[in-house]
Amino acid sequence: MEEIDQYFNQVYDQYVNKIYRFIYLKVSLVETAEDLSSEVFLRLYRHIQKNNPVIENPQAFVYQIARNVIADHYRSKKITVVSIEKTTIEIEDIQERTREQGEVSLEMDRIKEAIAKLQGDYQDLIIWRYVDELTVPEIAQITGKTEENVRVGVHRAIQALKGKVDV
């Protein structure tokens, strides 16, 4: 049991921030991202207890759990549309803090909004490659695709993202 806890703690410490960020960028709500992140690591712990305590590729395994948890979340709920008015109020609050911070925040919001408009696979590829800074081989392991398919997917995701970002 101690071996299981030690291994779980190691995987948790290594991936908790990346998984939280990945989920947050997909759901856009802090509370939901926290809940879903907890669910990811609960499922991981149960898997480790039930099966082999050492997973061959923990990064790919944890991201796959995260993808499943996000899918389950959206399947179990109706997708809520974020109000433009609410977003405008949030943007105004950011601008009040400082102009420079506001400009950076607005740019990040624009990009985040554009990423949210992409299809799910493209969102994942953008987040993994440019936010989590995973390599193409690491992404290939997570998705089960070839490295060439991942490269093409990342390229197409970037092209799609450029089309969504107002220039």
Residue 110 inside a domain? The answer is: no
Q: Is residue 106 part of a domain?
A: no
Could you tell me if 71 and 133 lie in one domain? no
pTM: 0.62
Range(s) of the domain holding residue 59: 2-76
* 43 pLDDT higher than 90: yes
Residue 85 clears pLDDT 70, i.e. is over it? no
Residue 98 included in any domain: no
pLDDT above 90 covers a percentage of the chain that reads 30
List C-alpha distances in Å: 28 to 22, 101, 149: 10, 20, 28
Average pLDDT over the chain reads 81
Out of 46, 76, 106, pick the residue that ends a domain. Answer: 76
Q: Which of 76, 108, 128 is the last residue of a domain?
A: 76
Q: Are 44 and 61 in contact (CB under 8 A)?
A: yes
Number of compact structural domains in the chain: 2
Domain-embedded: residue 83: no
Residue among 83, 145, 114 nearest 130 (CA): 114
Domain containing residue 29: CATH number: 1.10.1740
More confident residue, 103 or 67: 67
Nearest to 21 by CA among 119, 144, 97, 115: 115
CATH number of domain containing 128: 1.10.10.10
Say if 25 falls within a structural domain. Answer: yes
> Residue 152 contacts by C-beta under 8 Å, 6 or more apart in sequence?
none
pLDDT of 70:
92
**Is residue 68 predicted with pLDDT exceeding 90?**
yes
Query: For residues 59 and 132, what is the distance between their CA atoms, to the nearest angstrom?
Result: 12
> pLDDT-based confidence at 8, cuts 50/70/90?
confident
Question: Is 81 domain-assigned?
Answer: no
